Amino acid sequence: MSEFHWPQLKPGAQLDGSRIEAVSQMHALVYFGKGDYRVVPNRPIVCTAHDLIAKVLLVHRCGTDVKIFQSGRPDQAEESLLEELAALTGSTHTGDSKHFLRYVALLETGEFDAGFDDALYRDVAVAVEGIDSTRRSELKQKLSLYWGRIFGHETVVEIVRVGSRVRELSQGIGYMQDCELTPEYLNFQVGERCTLQSRIAHYQPPLGLEPEARGVQLLGGNITDLAMNQGGSFAQYVRIRPQIIQSGSVLRVPVGIDEVSAALVEPLACLLDCFQKSTHEIGQNDAGSILRKGVLPGGLTLIIGSGSMALMAGQLALMDDSRIETGGARQVVFVVRSQSKRDLVLKIMEHDPRVACIICESDERMPQAIKEQFVPTTPDPYRRAFQGFDDVILAAGNAGTVAGAHQMIAPTGARIMTFAGTRGTTNIESGVWHYANAAVVGTSGCNTKMMEIALDLLARRSVDLRSLSGKTYAFDDLKTNGTARFFEDQYLRPKLDPNSGVPAIAW
């Protein structure tokens, strides 16, 4: 297509300011807008002198992936895809990511929507004007190779290529800002298993409190994102670019951690981040309040949800780890939608006597269902009669669930951890916070330090994630049954084994 500027991906060419050293093709699951994922069997994968190439051993599909399938992601993925489309067409305009599917339709059909007035859209229309059916098919094939986004970030990978100049990437960014990366970190070896922190964010430096302290991740301050802006791991291989390396986001997986657990490090770290931000006052001393991270020791924890995140939260609430204080609940209660969900939770939690389930089909009935179905089985160490939960963790639900959680908390010092990715307005009685010394904490994603801590928890076997993974898919499944099934699967956390049943790629 002479109207488009396709990248020249061949050894010796320049890409992102670095020399290409190897080129191959792979199977990939590529996103072209809301509801539109396609299996591309010959997607190019390149390694420059400053890249790592890693084989994807497993990648889980998370709740964010489902929401992107259902609603798109105009604030990140579509925005960067329009920037790439502008570069492909030689346009100087940015486009309107809220209307992303209009651009896709124009590229595929050539039909111009005169009612949509946008400069990039008009430039794309010029590029596709007059293309006949044969050349349109060629254009569609080219776009499948050089456009679209590969998502997938909950992954474990194995390094297969190390660019010749990777060891020069010694200047830290993001999490490693102002740090010199060590030769030990940069000494990547073929065969090493790693997990990846996909969000490369700016960090607010610590104020000199501890020499080894890292900064605080700034939400909304992304440098880049592996899955949203670059190319994630719903593919046979992933290109690990300099920003990922320089930010300390390539984390080696210790020997002894299985692949399923390693691919769940990122969501475990997300939950751990939420627990770490929630504190309970457990006493007073001469310095003031004594605060403890996580759930109230000896308290009651309510978890709304029955998926993998909810079950991880249950493990963290009950956890007794020698280094990290987040657990210690005397009982954990799950709110589930059905008897089958109850049976699943109790099975995965190994019928722990400290675990109970409440069956409730709607958020509105949750307070009543608790009254009807729950009685604490162990005495309260604070000698309180049951009047509510000390911690409520939202691992499912919506904005209304946040409001409903306030009806189920204890009258003093309760905490609500909102992790379910809720959006929208909600009505809450503000006096609950003021007069009950209560608090709500939210979290979005995780920082790299939490991923390091999560790996340590797995290495010490303080948590066990092996049973939290759902069905394994291969590319043959997606070709035969369609890609939608992968995103609609509601049983725990489904995963893709992208190298199963397809030819190994040659470099």
HEC-encoded secondary structure of 363-419: HHHHHHHHHHHCCCCCCCCCCCCCCCECEEEECCCCHHHHHHHCCCECCCCCEEEEC
What dihedral angle (degrees, nearest 10) is formed by the CA atoms of 288, 292, 296, 298?
-90
pLDDT attached to residue 391 = 98
Nearest Cα to Cα of residue 359 among 375, 372, 377, 378: 372
pLDDT attached to residue 33 = 96
pLDDT attached to residue 431 = 87
Q: How far apart are alpha carbons 495 and 481 in whole angstroms?
A: 15
Beta bridge partners of residue 301, listed in sequence order: 332, 391
**Contact partners, residue 286, CB within 8 Å, separation at least 6:** none
Average pLDDT of span 411-435: 86
Q: How far apart are alpha carbons 406 and 440 in whole angstroms?
A: 9
pLDDT attached to residue 208 = 74
Q: How far apart are alpha carbons 308 and 245 in whole angstroms?
A: 29
pLDDT attached to residue 207 = 83
pLDDT at 324 over 80: yes
pLDDT at 422 over 80: no
Nearest Cα to Cα of residue 152 among 506, 494, 504, 461: 494
Q: Which amino acid would we find at residue 7?
A: P
- Record the pTM: 0.95
Contact yes or no for 349/311 (Cβ under 8 A): yes
Contact yes or no for 19/48 (Cβ under 8 A): yes
Mean pLDDT of the chain: 94
Question: 14: which 2 tokens?
Answer: 């320049």
28 vs 429, higher pLDDT: 28
Q: Is the dihedral of CA 191, 195, 199, 202 positive or negative?
A: negative
User: Residue 1: which pLDDT band, with cuts at 50, 70 and 90?
Assistant: very low
pLDDT at 443 over 90: no
Q: How far apart are alpha carbons 252 and 236 in whole angstroms?
A: 19
pLDDT at 2 over 60: no
pLDDT attached to residue 130 = 86
pLDDT attached to residue 247 = 98
Summarize pLDDT for 267-309 with one digit per residue, the tens.
999 999 999 999 999 999 999 999 999 999 999 999 999 999 9
Contact yes or no for 157/503 (Cβ under 8 A): no
Q: How far apart are alpha carbons 418 and 190 in whole angstroms?
A: 40
178 vs 250, higher pLDDT: 250
- CA angle 359-360-364, nearest 5°? 160
Summarize pLDDT for 357-383 with one digit per residue, the tens.
999 998 889 999 999 999 999 999 989
CATH numbers and ranges of domains, the chain: 270-442 (3.40.50.720)
Summarize pLDDT for 63-78 with one digit per residue, the tens.
999 999 999 999 889 9
* Percentage, residues of the chain above pLDDT 90: 86
Q: Which DSSP state fits 505?
A: P
Q: How far apart are alpha carbons 307 and 492 in whole angstroms?
A: 5
